[in-house]
Amino acid sequence: MTKFGVSENTNIEMFSEAAMEAINESNLKPKDIQALFFGNVFGSHEEGQVNMAPFAAADIGIPNIPTTRFEGACASGSVAVRDAFMWVASGYYDIVLAGGTERVLAMDTPAATRAFAMCSNSYYEGPAGITFPGVFALLAHLYSHKYGIPLAKLKEQMAMVAIKNHRNGKLNPKAQFQATIRDLMEARIARATQKGQSVPTWADEMEFLRDIKANPLIADPLQLYDCCPFTDGAAAVVLVSGDKARTLTDKPVLIAGVGQCSVGSLSDQKDFTQMKSRILSAKQAYAQAGIEPQDVDLCELHDCFTIAEIVSMECLGFFEFGHGGRAVERGETEIGGKIAINPSGGLKAKGHPIGATGAAQVYEVVKQLRSECGKRQVDGARIGMTDTLGGDAGTVCNIILKRGW
């Protein structure tokens, strides 16, 4: 994957960089690739480009292969990987490339916010003017109400999600934000001191995050650091048949199970805290992999907002409904905890280039299962999972990966 953040490269250039890393690390050449499965959401708004997949293949020197673009909002990259899996698992192809790219920052913030809102139902929800911070703010209120967790308490748990993910992101050289919340707090104090302004005093990160001047309100109760950033980036993975893998690597990582499910519009959902699409998608993946949630050592999941991480952990079955926030408080989701959630830093700190995010989650899980993650390594990780959510849970995709044969 590329270093996530602001990029001066085009979508295709970013994708090529990620693709060549994947191909080189697989001990392959571009000409070995038989097909491309490509995720992108807003190319036409970012760069006036649709039909991008053929150009991506041509840019890495393999113009004459089948190339297919997938779009499932923020789950596009995952959907591309899942589809690639089927073409290999079925025996049709032996070696394929899957991934995605997104150049969100080619749009300014209002344009990107409006574009992202196109992932909700444009006829039945668009007219209400709701954008995603609003959707997840409502979710936080609903969650607080449903489980009887006072909002102040929930906000503290959400803040701890941000603190954890930024702490992990600091250990990830490809993360957009390689800084803890404490780092950000101290940088702010330093800036104020340098400018001769009155120096803010915060006892700790939690007080910093509570301060509405340091951490502005976006959509009540979500503040700035509850929200993932807009991000440019690309990620890619090579998928090969089992027989082929034996000739290419001594650190194999297997796709053990996949799941995908939809749910229609936000208004179709009975209970947004228990997302049916995610529950059904995860169930498919667990069944195919022949495992239970408690077998998973780490999960890269869809923390587009801090409340989204808590809800995802519960829908995936890692914690009881209504207990996710407490698990965060207890450190159970840290690297070294019961289950490492978003050791990469997640969407929150690693960044969220939407067409690439799913593939970047697979990238992190593969690196973890190969014990190549340095300071953020989850010791002894054998089973990892990804979870991506597109729109208002309109498209959810899960992939379970296992180390070794």
Positions in the binding site for a copy of itself (CB under 8 A): 10, 12, 36, 41-42, 44-45, 47-51, 53-55, 57-59, 63-73, 79, 83, 86-87, 89-92, 115, 118-123, 126, 260-265, 268, 276-277, 280-281, 390-391, 394-395
Q: In the annotation, is 261 catalytic?
A: no
In whole angstroms, give the CA distance from residue 102 to residue 164: 25
Q: Which residues contact 393 (CB under 8 A, 6 or more apart)?
A: 263, 266, 269, 272, 275, 276, 277, 278
User: What is the enclosing helix (H) or strand (E) of 210?
Assistant: helix 205-210
Token pair for 15:
């994708």
* Residue at token pair 């830093």: 345
Which member of 302, 304, 352, 373 is catalytic?
Answer: 352
In whole angstroms, give the CA distance from residue 272 to residue 268: 10
Indicate the residue among 41 and 214 with the shorter CB distance to a copy of itself: 41
Residue 121 C-beta: closest distance to a copy of itself, Å: 6
Tell me the residue type at 362.
V
Strand, coil or helix: 384 = strand
181 close to 162: Cβ distance less than 8 angstroms: yes
Residue 280 C-beta: closest distance to a copy of itself, Å: 6
In whole angstroms, give the CA distance from residue 380 to residue 386: 18
Q: In the annotation, is 302 catalytic?
A: no
Cis bond leading into 221, ω under 30°?
yes
Residue 45 C-beta: closest distance to a copy of itself, Å: 7
Tell me the residue type at 322.
G
Residue 390 C-beta: closest distance to a copy of itself, Å: 6
Token pair for 348:
């929150």
Indicate the residue among 50 and 187 with the shorter CB distance to a copy of itself: 50
Indicate the residue among 103 and 167 with the shorter CB distance to a copy of itself: 103
In whole angstroms, give the CA distance from residue 231 to residue 253: 28
Indicate the residue among 283 and 382 with the shorter CB distance to a copy of itself: 283
Token pair for 295:
């077998």
308 close to 136: Cβ distance less than 8 angstroms: yes
Q: Which residues contact 3 (CB under 8 A, 6 or more apart)?
A: 173, 174, 233
Residue 336 C-beta: closest distance to a copy of itself, Å: 35
Tell which phi-psi region holds residue 91, choosing left (phi > 0), alpha (psi between -120 and 50) or beta. Answer: left
CA angle, 259 then 226 then 320, to 5°: 50
Residue 54 C-beta: closest distance to a copy of itself, Å: 4
Indicate the residue among 155 and 278 with the shorter CB distance to a copy of itself: 278
Strand, coil or helix: 169 = helix
Indicate the residue among 27 and 122 with the shorter CB distance to a copy of itself: 122
Residue 119 C-beta: closest distance to a copy of itself, Å: 4
Which member of 74, 228, 299, 315 is catalytic?
Answer: 74
In whole angstroms, give the CA distance from residue 208 to residue 11: 36
Indicate the residue among 48 and 148 with the shorter CB distance to a copy of itself: 48
Residues with catalytic roles: 74, 352
